[in-house]
Amino acid sequence: MPTAPSSLSITLQIVSIVFYTFIAFICIGLPIAVIPGYVHEQLGFSAVVAGVTIGSQYLATLLSRPMAGRMSDNVGTKRAIVLGLSGILLSGVLTFIATLLQSLPNLSLGILIVGRVLLGVAQGLIGVGTISWCMGQVGAEHTARSISWNGIASYGAIAIGAPLGVVMVAQYGYNSLGIALAVLAGLGLVLIRKKPSVPVVRGERLPFWAVFGRIAPFGASLCLASIGYGTLTTFITLFYLSRGWIGAAWCLTVFGICFILSRLLFISSITRFGGFRAAIACMTLETVGLALLWLAPSPAIALIGAGLTGFGLSLVYPALGVEAIKQVPNSSRGAGLSAYAVFFDLALAIAGPLMGAVALNLGYSWIFFCAALLSVTGLGLTLLLMRRAY
């Protein structure tokens, strides 16, 4: 009888796959704290346009999810990731060209948005591909661990990438962003060449919209809770500027560190207490963090709010994801993961223009109040889902 793999062995297998998520999200993190300022200050567009520019990436990820799920299920997870890395490389080239055309604001903005759309499609392919690859490699019973480590890789990369992007722009100018994206994506393509993928799972393929219907109640709760993340990443720079503060990128770093610590310390709580209970506890903490950002009288309090938001949001995705993926067969696992991720993408896509409008009319602090209200709504929906399940 073969010996069951150790917990460490399983974790190492997962980490070797989500490494490609880490590369992708370094590329997402590098421009995230500086692109809003570039669009608003260098190109001269409004806060709403800055929000739309960031949101275009997330909207592209959302719209590409059905394709990403089909590709992972039908042709394999490795191919999905390779295509995603290629998209990031091209996005880097376009970002570089856009920053060269700063004297032509409309053209620069247009090329920049095309680059962000490509980055969004790549995010969808790599996000679904890596989690599905992990589940095929270590088994569906480790779904929570696979999703969690993928999140650690993504948010950890943003925590590193956001301040690094600020330093790069300060030292080498905006042109350095596109070059860095292209180089990192090229490195990922070289490293993945000889890594063996898992076989494609055979069986019935449910239509995407049938899968979507099964996942939707869980995804709606995830969406409401995740708008706070989209709000924080898109507008924290402009929020700090409106207050006359410096160090906005550190809010993203604190968010990422607290997010990772929570997943490392408490991931087992999903198995111990169940996905619903873990999600409810985390949404409550996230709401407190967003309220602190709304009321923050100083950068120190804002950092605490960002930390609590990261700590709270950390387990919402895997906790609800465990319950959601139970609704679909293994042969449609990629479609299930992509349908679930659609709701996270939707949160990030609408956070930019929605909260940009709020900021324009009420001021930047009120965006966090609105995000807290939406988080409370998601908490209520999760309570209803738990009652229905039990």
Report the pLDDT value the prediction gives residue 205, as an integer from 0 to 100: 66
Residues 344, 219: Cα–Cα separation, whole Å = 7
In the chain the first and final C-alpha atoms are separated, in Å, by: 37
Element holding 185 (H helix, E strand) = helix 175-192
Report the pLDDT value the prediction gives residue 96, as an integer from 0 to 100: 93
Are the C-beta atoms of 102 and 108 separated by less than 8 Å? yes
Structure tokens at 138: 């270590």
- Within 13 Å of residue 250, how many CA atoms lie on the same side as its CB? 10
Q: Tell me the CATH architecture of domain 10-197+207-389.
A: Up-down Bundle (1.20)
Helices vs strands, H then E, count in the chain: 15, 0
Report the pLDDT value the prediction gives residue 68, as an integer from 0 to 100: 81
Q: How far is CA 268 from CA 26, 148, 273, 319, 326, in A?
A: 27, 10, 9, 10, 18
Report the pLDDT value the prediction gives residue 369, as an integer from 0 to 100: 94
- Within 13 Å of residue 321, how many CA atoms lie on the same side as its CB? 33
3 state SS of 304? helix
Nearest to 116 by CA among 350, 349, 344, 357: 349
Report the pLDDT value the prediction gives residue 54, as an integer from 0 to 100: 80
Report the predicted TM-score, pTM, of the whole model to 2 decimal places: 0.75
Nearest to 31 by CA among 82, 83, 84, 99: 99
Are the C-beta atoms of 324 and 31 separated by less than 8 Å? no
Report the pLDDT value the prediction gives residue 1, as an integer from 0 to 100: 44
pLDDT tens, position by position, for the chain (390 residues)? 455 567 778 888 888 899 999 999 999 889 887 888 888 888 888 877 887 888 788 788 878 888 887 787 777 788 889 999 999 999 999 999 998 988 888 898 999 999 999 999 998 889 888 888 888 787 777 777 888 888 888 878 887 888 899 899 889 988 899 999 999 999 999 999 888 776 666 656 677 778 888 899 999 999 999 998 888 888 888 888 888 888 887 888 888 788 888 888 887 788 788 889 999 999 999 999 999 999 988 888 999 999 999 999 888 988 998 888 887 776 677 778 888 888 887 887 788 888 888 888 888 889 999 999 999 999 999 999 998 877
Interacting residues of 162 by C-beta distance below 8 A, sequence separation 6+: 29, 30, 32, 33, 249, 252, 253, 256
